[in-house]
Amino acid sequence: MSLQTIRDTVWDILLQEAASPSPADNFTVLTALNAVRLDAERNHDWVASKRVAYLRVMATTGSLLSTATEGYSAGVGPTGAQVRIKGIRRARRGSGEGNWAPAHVMTYDKYETLLVSADRKGSIGLAGDEWRPSYYDGTDPQMKTMVEEQYRSFLSTKAVLLQDGLRAYVNEDADQDFKLWVYEWLPPYLNMGTDDDFMITYGSDYLLWGAIEWLNFKKGAFLPRKEGSITPEMVTAMKDKAWASLQLWDAYMQQTDNTYIGAD
C-alpha cells in the first residue's frame, strides 16, 4: 500500500467528499499521518529502523548527533547522507584506516559519577551494581581501593563515547571517528508521493485508523460512513488492533537468530 492509497481511504471513510482533496486537505491528512507515525516511533524501537552511522566527534567541542552520516571513507571520515539518530545501541572507534575497535557508550553524567574529578584523581564513585565485580561486596577498604584503581585505569584508557543530550563527546584530547549501531528516526512525509517505508508497507492499517482518529479529534465531531456507522470507539479499537499486529511483525523480525553455536 502507498501513502496515496492510505490518503484516499482516509478521505473516503472520514471526509466523504465527492471532489478531489485540495492542497490544504492533503496537507491536513499528511500532518495526521506524520503525527501518527511519530507517535509509533516514540513508543517503540523498531527493528526495521536499525542503521549503521558514522560520526566524527570533536575533542574540544563535541559534535551534534545530527551530523552522523551513512558512509565512511578511510582517510576522509564520515561521508554521505545524514542519519537521524534516535538512540545509540553500541559503538566502535576508528583508527583512520577503516579499522574499528570496541568503544563504550555512556551518558556524560554517568561518566562524571565514575570519575569524581576531571583530572581522574580522587575516588571513583561505584554507584551502580553494574560497575561492581561479583567478588566485591563493598565492605573491605583495601578491596574498595583496588577496585577503584582498576576502574580509574579502565576509564582513562578505554575509548568512550559520551552522550549528553543531542551532543556526543570523547574522553580523549583528539578528534575521534565512531561507527555507531543506532535506531533511526524516519524522515517526515513531505508529500503523498513519498517513497514507501516499513511503516507504510507493514503498518498501513495502523496509519489509516490512527489518521482517522487524529482527524476526528481535530474536527471535533465524528462523520459516520454512508453505509453504516463507525463510532469513535470502533476507530480506536481498529487502531489498537493494527498496533498489536505491527508489534507482532516487529517481534518476528527479532526471531531470526535461532542457531545454537557450539560443538557438534
| Residue 153, amino acid | S
CA distance 152 to 216: 57
Classify residue 77: in a domain, yes or no. Answer: no
Instruction: Determine the structural domain holding residue 33 and report its residue range.
Output: 3-46+190-253
Q: pLDDT tens, 241-252?
A: 999 999 999 998
Instruction: List CB contacts of 222: < 8 A, sequence separation 6 or more.
Output: 216, 230, 231, 232, 235
**144 has pLDDT over 80:** no
**58 has pLDDT over 70:** yes
Classify residue 158: in a domain, yes or no. Answer: no
Return the beta strands (E) in the chain as ranges: 50-57, 63-64, 69-73, 77-82, 85-94, 100-107, 160-164, 167-170, 176-184
Show the cell assigned to 115.
570519575
Classify residue 28: in a domain, yes or no. Answer: yes
Show the cell assigned to 25.
486537505
Show the cell assigned to 227.
453505509
Q: How many domains is the chain partitioned into structurally?
A: 1
* Cβ-based burial of 23 (10 A; exposed 0-12, middle 13-18, buried ≥19): exposed
CA distance 86 to 139: 40
Instruction: List CB contacts of 41: < 8 A, sequence separation 6 or more.
Output: 49, 86, 185, 186
Classify residue 236: in a domain, yes or no. Answer: yes
Classify residue 108: in a domain, yes or no. Answer: no
pLDDT band of 117, cuts 50, 70, 90: very low
pTM: 0.75
CA distance 152 to 156: 6
Classify residue 107: in a domain, yes or no. Answer: no
pLDDT band of 129, cuts 50, 70, 90: very low
Classify residue 62: in a domain, yes or no. Answer: no
Residue appearing with cell numbers 534516535: 86
Classify residue 199: in a domain, yes or no. Answer: yes
**121 has pLDDT over 90:** no
Please, what is the Cα angle at 99 between 93 and 104, to 5 degrees? 20
CA distance 131 to 119: 20
